[in-house]
């Protein structure tokens, strides 16, 4: 069954205090057209700059996920994005009049309620799902973090935490249906922290807007009267501060018996939204936080982008590669006898590409270079490497079929060994920068594991 994209019917707003900055802010959700995606707009900055909600714009993971594009920065976006993802909204304008959304009660539920006031509506275009078709894993052994993603016909999360604290201990939860469970069973779960972390975070200048009404504070050590007074002063509290029977500061009641691990699911949902497509897959996570979530999201986004490229340029040949010669012919303007790459074996859009060139005795240049001693001209090795770089560059712009790449400069060229008939060249190109249509990249060429050529290149994309 084809599922349609969704947005909201009308604008809806809310105001409050930001968790880390303590700023007063108003967040306004507005409808967006099909295919628009989700973008934040800083209405308080000149020109009202946009910040796309995607993994490429993540710049910070300190007790939350921070996005930035140019001078526009937005702190702590995960609870907002979890609400958007949980309601399965695809296209949305999120206006903010300050640097951080309100924290409210530390959960996603207030954002869910605001969005539901706007009314979720279907749109005319189908959703583009990221369907997991093979095992994917991420781990950090030093921190005991393990995340595995496996195929599933719908989005699911299983999460485990095991804190060495009697108030938490080992907690487990599983979300099997966004539609049936998210709003009431997961969205209300609040963020939490340990008592020992609070003073340190305050000294670092974060959680300026935090309080006992916006987080669950887990007591991981006994406190004396002096520390009680410090805590009251830190948070500007009038009420008493005490460690109760539950191990939670002031015996704040939990909304769910395993509320902390449910909030971990919320954070994971918000961070995975940055991939840019709804997932059909089962995520099994143990002890994961924002840093691990985003690292996984980067791997998944790279895989998703490769799938999108394959879908756009379907291959007619078999084998372990991304694109064959037919796809290359659709992107690069070169033709015989000057098309010098045969296959794209890997590509990370906007970052790197790996390509192959099979060197045969039938190459026209061998007739004169040199008779009886065939050697591939070094300038053509550099040209082939540049073509692979051009392919990477053209895949980073819109309408690549209407563009062409001009190379502006080549530096640091070194040839390490001759290339002869029967060799297979593997080109490894990495993009260093891409600003105002001009790209700087490094390239290496290998035969097997042997480096045969390297160079640094400067190129420009122009209209044909």
Which residues does the annotation mark as catalytic? 290, 369
Helix runs in 31-145, H state only: 78-86, 109-118
Q: How far is residue 314's CA from residue 36's CA, in Å, rounded to a whole number?
A: 25
Q: Which residue carries 């060994």 as its tokens? A: 417
Nearest to 355 by CA among 403, 326, 322, 377: 322
Show the 3-state SS of 332-374.
Answer: CCCCCCCCCCCEEEEEECCCEEEEEEECCCCCHHHHCCCCCCC
Show the 3-state SS of 147-175.
Answer: EEEECCCCCEEEEEEECCCCCCCEEEEEE
| Helix (H) or strand (E) segment spanning residue 223 | none
Please, which residues have CB within 8 angstroms of residue 140's CB and are 6 or more apart in sequence? 292
Exposure string of 389-409, with b = 16+ CB inside 10 Å and e = fewer, is bbbbbbbeeeebeebebebee
Contact 76, 42 (CB under 8 A): no
């Amino acid at each position: 069954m084809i599922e349609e994209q969704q947005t909201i019917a009308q604008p809806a707003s809310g105001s409050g205090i930001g968790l880390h900055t303590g700023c007063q802010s108003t967040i306004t959700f507005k409808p967006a057209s099909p295919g628009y995606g989700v973008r934040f707009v800083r209405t308080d900055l000149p020109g009202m700059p946009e910040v796309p909600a995607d993994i490429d714009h993540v710049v910070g993971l300190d007790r939350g996920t921070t996005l930035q594009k140019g001078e526009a920065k937005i702190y702590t976006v995960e609870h907002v994005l979890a609400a958007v993802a949980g309601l399965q909204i695809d296209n949305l304008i999120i206006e903010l009049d300050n640097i951080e959304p309100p924290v409210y009660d530390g959960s996603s539920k207030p954002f869910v309620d605001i969005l539901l006031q706007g009314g979720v509506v279907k749109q005319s275009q189908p959703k583009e799902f990221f369907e997991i078709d093979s095992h994917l894993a991420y781990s950090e052994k030093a921190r005991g973090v393990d995340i595995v993603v496996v195929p599933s016909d719908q989005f699911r999360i299983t999460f485990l935490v095991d804190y060495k604290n009697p108030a938490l201990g080992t907690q487990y939860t599983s979300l099997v249906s966004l539609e049936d469970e998210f709003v009431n069973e997961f969205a209300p779960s609040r963020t939490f922290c340990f008592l020992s972390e609070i003073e340190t975070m305050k000294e670092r200048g974060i959680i300026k807007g935090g309080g006992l009404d916006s987080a669950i504070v887990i007591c991981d050590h006994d406190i004396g009267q002096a520390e009680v007074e410090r805590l009251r002063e830190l948070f500007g509290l009038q009420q008493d501060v005490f460690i109760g029977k539950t191990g939670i500061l002031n015996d704040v009641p939990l909304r769910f018996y395993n509320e902390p691990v449910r909030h971990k699911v919320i954070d994971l949902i918000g961070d995975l939204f940055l991939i840019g497509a709804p997932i059909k897959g089962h995520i099994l996570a143990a002890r994961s936080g924002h840093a691990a979530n985003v690292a996984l999201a980067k791997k998944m986004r790279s895989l998703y982008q490769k799938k999108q490229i394959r879908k756009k340029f379907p291959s007619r040949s078999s084998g372990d590669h991304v694109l064959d010669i037919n796809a290359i012919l659709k992107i690069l303007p070169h033709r015989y006898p000057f098309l010098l790459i045969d296959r794209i074996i890997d590509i990370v859009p906007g970052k790197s590409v790996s390509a192959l060139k099979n060197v045969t005795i039938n190459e026209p240049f061998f007739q004169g270079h040199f008779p009886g001693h065939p050697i591939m001209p070094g300038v053509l090795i550099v040209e082939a490497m540049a073509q692979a770089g051009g392919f990477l560059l053209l895949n980073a712009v819109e309408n690549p079929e209407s563009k062409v790449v001009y190379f502006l400069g080549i530096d640091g060229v070194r040839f390490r060994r001759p290339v002869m008939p029967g060799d297979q060249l593997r080109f490894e190109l990495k993009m260093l920068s891409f600003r105002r249509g001009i790209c700087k990249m490094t390239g290496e060429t290998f035969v097997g594991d042997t480096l045969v050529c390297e160079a640094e290149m400067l190129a420009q994309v122009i209209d044909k």
